[in-house]
Amino acid sequence: MTTDFDLLLDGPAHDLAEAVSARRVSAREVAEASLARVGRSRELHGAFLHVAPAAALAAADEVDRRVASGEALPLAGVPLAVKDNINVAGLPSTAGSRILEGFVAADDATCVARLKAAGCVVVGKTSCDEFGMGSSNESSAFGPVKNPWDLTRVPGGSSGGSAAAVAAFAVPLAIGTDTGGSVRQPASFCSLVGVKPTYGRVSRYGLLAYASSLDQAGPLARSVRDAALALSAMAGPDERDSTSIPAAPRGLLDRLEAGAAGVRIGLLAEAEAPEGGLDPDVGSVLDTAARILESAGATIVRVSVPRVPFAVAAYYILATAEASSNLARYDGVRYGARREGDGLSGLYRATRSAGFGPEVKRRILLGTFALSSGYREAWYERAQRVRALLALDFAEAFRSCDAILCPTAPEPAFRIGEKGADPLAMYLADVFTVPASLAGLPALSVPAGLSRERLPIGMQLAGPEGSEPLLFALGREIERAAGAWGRPPGAIR
């Protein structure tokens, strides 16, 4: 039997929040309905690693008290799923790794605390590629996640559990982290809106670090408005994160319905290059998205960011170098699960050998090599120069356009196991998302069409630092014109 709570869970998060705020339903009733779906999604998709019914119901009761007292909560009672590399007080944080088994977070990440303050109710922690290292959610130590659109396919990574949870209608909102595309690519594969903010827009406090100069938390939602509402709640300066932008963001929702009239949209030339390996269906949806924006009054121009072809190579040197440093703390002494060995070196060897999975070991080895004596200049420092030049390329491109349009991923969701034996093929799945990450720019993935196999295809909009309001307006235009694609075959009801 379908209840009012089920209908609210099927709809936008902002409608649900309005219903709770108006006291037409209680946050507790919504949380109970969501928890039932979360349990089914955990079984069917593997989306959740940890479910917190007692904590969720207590939080929902607190939301109901706050609403009854007259407090205005923009996300009142909205069930929230949190990627398992983001701390939630009192819940495990494993980052999808055996090395953190048994670790329970002492406090909330800043982005979680702010979403709770806005009225969100955390229902559980979602699966992810181990420490955020992956593009398919197959490298989690606790098993792969299945895409609700096709259970034989990946949901994308590394925030695949968060994406699957929202796509399956278990929750209306989730947060993930995006280092090189880990929010945007799952959004594309699961027909969601995913946002990577300007670097520093959202505090990194409480995120389990992978690559500190790249990591950003961002929302996954079923509509542009919900994503903008969530980012508005998450964003802002934080004294506990020295890289957070000091000024509070302004007007993230102000331009949402402003449309595309008068906006110059740059069609990324490198995305259309024959050697780019673009799937024909993705190319067709790119053309459709460009026509939608042009029909809405935008001017379409061709732009080039010449160093985009080098971005993946630079990223996988810089990110792995930072991972090598960041993950050194998991040694069985200071952090992480302990495995005994012969002496101190044996302790380290036993702990890290048993605790880390193959992909994490691969990236630690790559990063350690790139930073080692005699190779640092040839690899790490050269990659840093490519990063700086890429940022200059973007700055030059934005002289002739206000935002850049390109695919989020070169193909729709691939099959589970399809790329596991070929790391390079997996890394190339990030070819369109990594450039904005390296340059610290905001980027948004919005559903724009379906493949001939009825798999979702997302388009990416990237802009200069601080251009999130414009990206939301453009994404809303594509969303309005492209329409809805229906419920995924694997959705929960």
Q: What is the pTM of this model?
A: 0.96
CB-based contact 458:448 (threshold 8 Å) = yes
Domains of the chain, first to last:
4-234 (3.90.1300.10)
What burial letters (b/e) apply to 324-349, b meaning 16+ CB within 10 Å?
bbbbeebbbeebbbbbebeeeeebbe
CA-closest candidate to residue 85, choices 153, 152, 141: 141
| Rounded-to-integer distance, Cα 126 and Cα 176, Å | 9
Q: In which residue are the tokens 């007080």 written?
A: 89
CB-based contact 181:50 (threshold 8 Å) = no
- Quickly list DSSP for 39-72: HHHHHHH--EEEE-HHHHHHHHHHHHHHHHTT--
Indicate which residues carry an active-site annotation. 83, 158, 182
For residue 365, the tally of other CB atoms under 10 A from its CB is 12
Q: Is residue 208 helix, strand or coil?
A: coil
**β partners of residue 456:** 450
CB-based contact 379:369 (threshold 8 Å) = yes
Bridge pairing between strands 173-178 and 79-83? parallel
Amino acid sitting at position 163: A
CB-based contact 193:222 (threshold 8 Å) = yes
| Rounded-to-integer distance, Cα 409 and Cα 156, Å | 10
pLDDT at 193: 98
CA-closest candidate to residue 189, choices 222, 232, 155: 155
pLDDT at 2: 53
- Secondary element (H or E) of residue 424: helix 423-427
* DSSP label of 92: B
| Rounded-to-integer distance, Cα 459 and Cα 130, Å | 26
At what angle are helices 110-117 and 224-234 packed, to 10 degrees?
A: 110
pLDDT at 275: 54
Residue ranges, the chain, pLDDT below 70 = 1-3, 273-276
Contacts of residue 365, defined as CB under 8 A and 6 or more positions apart, other chains included, come to none
- Quickly list DSSP for 65-76: HHHHTT---TTT
| Rounded-to-integer distance, Cα 485 and Cα 483, Å | 7
Q: In which residue are the tokens 């229906």 written?
A: 486
pLDDT at 1: 43
The model's pLDDT over 158-193, given as tens digits with 9 standing for 90+, comes to: 999 999 999 999 999 999 999 999 999 999 999 999
- Quickly list DSSP for 221-284: ESSHHHHHHHHHHH-S--TT-TTS-SSPP--TTTTTT--STT-EEEEEGGGG-GGG---HHHHH
What burial letters (b/e) apply to 252-281, b meaning 16+ CB within 10 Å?
beebbebbbeebebbbbbbbeeeebebeeb
- Secondary element (H or E) of residue 83: strand 79-83
pLDDT at 291: 97
pLDDT at 340: 87
| Rounded-to-integer distance, Cα 148 and Cα 128, Å | 16
* Tokens of residue 471, six digits: 């990206």
Q: Is the dihedral of CA 478, 482, 485, 486 positive or negative?
A: positive
Angle at 411 between CA 406 and CA 412, to 5 degrees: 110
